[in-house]
Amino acid sequence: MPSKQLSLRRTVWIPPLILAIAMGCVAIPTPAPSPTPLPPPETRAGAAPTPVPPTATPAPTSRPTAVPPATTDAPPSPAASPTPQPTPPGEALVPQGQITPPPEGFAPTPPPPPEMGVDESDSWVRDYVALVTAMLNSGRGVDEVLNTLTEWSSLADDSMGNPSAVVWAEPADIDADGADEWVMSVPVPGRGCGVTSCPSYLILFEVKDDLFVPGHVVRGSPPYEIQFQNAELRQINDINADGQTEVLLQQLWCGAHTCFIGLTVGRWDGARWHDLADGPISQAYTELTVEDSDDDGALEFSFFGGTFGSVGAGLQRPHRLLFDWRDDAYRLVEDEPAPSDHPYYLMLDANSALADSDWDRALELARAVVQDPDFSDSMVPIEEVGKERIVSYAAVEAMLVHAQRGDVEAMEAVLAQARAHDFVVPNIYTEAAQRLIGVYEETGDVVAACAAMEDVVAERPDEAVFFEWYGYNTARITVDQICPLDEPQDGESPDL
């Protein structure tokens, strides 16, 4: 029997939340800091660092980065989308031109503290990267440079965090050229750290002719922010089993009510940075596991969480997100909601079970809603009209199972049981249930009867929504999913 897979939709974040996250998480510098002038190209002086010999599995030098232990999970893949493209050198936010050592007597000074709440310009970042590069090429050791940058970052009075926690440097031969590159997390000048924010720039350096040469400023989550928050190096290794070396970075950022964990995974080919994610890899309030759970050689990223800490999120439940290497990129391959006893989620899960032809499971879930609906455990109050529609549609789901088994008497009994609740009055779903019985009795075709039932809802979708108000993180189904037994129609379908 043909079926269609339930595709739960969640309303996108409302603009005020996005603004809150932006203001609460990522503090941003102002343009044109006027860093210490860089040396002219013809000047060469001062000792240069000697590159560390390449290592297959790098161990942190400088500020060590804790690499959390791996732990669990894996399954299928959606349709492939275009493979992420490498970042053009002109967009790498690093100085373009020959790198030379600074002159004798080079005495770097901190750039002006960035202004809070102002978008940083590309030129500001390039100037700062140029200053850091000159310091690394002035004969100072990496640790000494990082210590100086940490001092510049620390706030005089009200710093509530320690910038040194996000200041680190790691050497490794990432591009397989026989020489180490360096991945460095350098703090934002004058910014310090807050309770949940600790910004830094992630810079990838080549070492050529004993000089540090900046190659790329890595962007992270939220999508492609220049600054990382609470940056952590998870691994430099062959992460996706392609025989090459990749870099896996993690960060934590927070808004007014909610904190997120995100991953950035990429590869450096000696000239360009390749972002290897098909889209953002992140989730709110989550438990993150990184491991090869299916033994295919490529690491999977499993998140369990996703609930938001504000009333505006509405009714919600945790989800398990699985990101795996498919079609030359890391992609979201599974979004599995956690079980819930709330009648609304029992109803949604019964819909999914019907789409999968799991008749016993669908009947068990739908029957629980019809027999004993408990609406007490909810983040938002459920009005009577919402209760009646949820219970009535759950009755329709149970009736579809009985129709598939050829039991009209059981179909009628389920509908009568739903109507017996004091809060259930005639509504669009009881009307659709009557159509289901009528067409099934006429045709004996459960799919045709199901489609006729859906047509009733499609004619008046405004009467079929399950809540008068939805939070931005509340899962929803669409009109064309009301009958989960047939293929969805082309085009958009209203949310319910």
Per-residue confidence band for 240, with pLDDT thresholds at 50, 70 and 90: very high
For residues 389-402, give the mean pLDDT. 98
**Predicted pLDDT of residue 34:** 40
**Predicted pLDDT of residue 88:** 60
Contact present, 282 and 263 (Cβ < 8 Å): yes
**Predicted pLDDT of residue 260:** 96
**Predicted pLDDT of residue 118:** 60
Question: For 98-130, how does the pLDDT look when each residue is reduced to its tens digit (9 = 90+)?
Answer: 999 999 999 999 987 666 656 667 888 899 999
Residue 26 has pLDDT above 90, yes or no: no
For residues 144-154, give the mean pLDDT. 93
For residues 245-265, give the mean pLDDT. 95
Output Rg (C-alpha) for the chain, integer angstroms.
28
d(CA 269, CA 176) in angstroms, rounded, equals: 8
What is the 8-class DSSP label of residue 481? Answer: G
Q: How many other CB atoms are there within 10 angstroms of residue 200's CB atom?
A: 26
Residue 32 has pLDDT above 60, yes or no: no
* Cis before 222? omega within 30: yes
Question: For 327-379, how does the pLDDT look when each residue is reduced to its tens digit (9 = 90+)?
Answer: 999 999 999 999 999 999 999 999 999 999 999 999 999 999 999 999 886 66
Strand segments, DSSP code E, in 176-258 are 181-187, 199-208, 211-218, 228-229, 232-237, 246-254
d(CA 429, CA 83) in angstroms, rounded, equals: 44
Amino acid letter at 259?
A: C
Pick the residue with more confidence: 8 or 116?
116
Question: For 83-97, how does the pLDDT look when each residue is reduced to its tens digit (9 = 90+)?
Answer: 565 666 667 789 888
**Predicted pLDDT of residue 66:** 33
If residue 275 lies in a helix (H) or strand (E), which one and from where to where?
strand 273-275
Residue 225 has pLDDT above 70, yes or no: yes
Residue 9 has pLDDT above 80, yes or no: no
For residues 205-231, give the mean pLDDT. 90
d(CA 314, CA 309) in angstroms, rounded, equals: 10
Per-residue confidence band for 77, with pLDDT thresholds at 50, 70 and 90: very low
Residue 166 has pLDDT above 60, yes or no: yes
Three-class HEC string of 147-184? HHHHHHHCCCCCCCCCHHHHCEEEEECCCCCCCCEEEE
For residues 246-257, give the mean pLDDT. 94
Which tokens belong to 119? 């978008």
Residue 3 sits at φ, ψ, to 5 deg, of: -145, 165
Contact present, 432 and 454 (Cβ < 8 Å): yes
For residues 307-335, give the mean pLDDT. 95
Contact present, 298 and 240 (Cβ < 8 Å): yes
**Predicted pLDDT of residue 465:** 96
Choose among 250, 206, 202, 248: nearest CA to 226. Answer: 202
**Predicted pLDDT of residue 33:** 40
43: buried, middle or exposed (CB in 10 Å: 19+, 13-18, 0-12)? middle
Question: For 413-464, how does the pLDDT look when each residue is reduced to its tens digit (9 = 90+)?
Answer: 999 999 999 999 999 999 999 999 999 999 999 999 999 999 999 999 999 9
Residue 158 has pLDDT above 80, yes or no: no
If residue 16 lies in a helix (H) or strand (E), which one and from where to where?
helix 15-25
Choose among 86, 87, 111, 183: nearest CA to 142. Answer: 183
Residue 346 falls in which region: left (phi positive, over 0), alpha (psi -120 to 50) or beta: alpha
Write the CB contacts of 180 (distance below 8 Å, at least 6 apart in sequence): 51, 52, 53, 54, 55, 171, 172, 173, 207
Give the lowest-confidence range in 13-27, 272-286, 423-437. Answer: 13-27
Domain ranges of the chain: 15-337, 340-481
Pick the residue with more confidence: 462 or 490?
462
Residue 216 has pLDDT above 60, yes or no: yes
Mean pLDDT score of the chain: 83
Three-class HEC string of 46-94? CCCCCCCCCCCCCCCECCCCCCCCCCCCCCCCCCCCCCCCECCHHHCCC
Question: Quick one: what percent of the chain has pLDDT higher than 90?
Answer: 66
Question: Quick one: what percent of the chain has pLDDT higher than 70?
Answer: 77
**Predicted pLDDT of residue 222:** 66
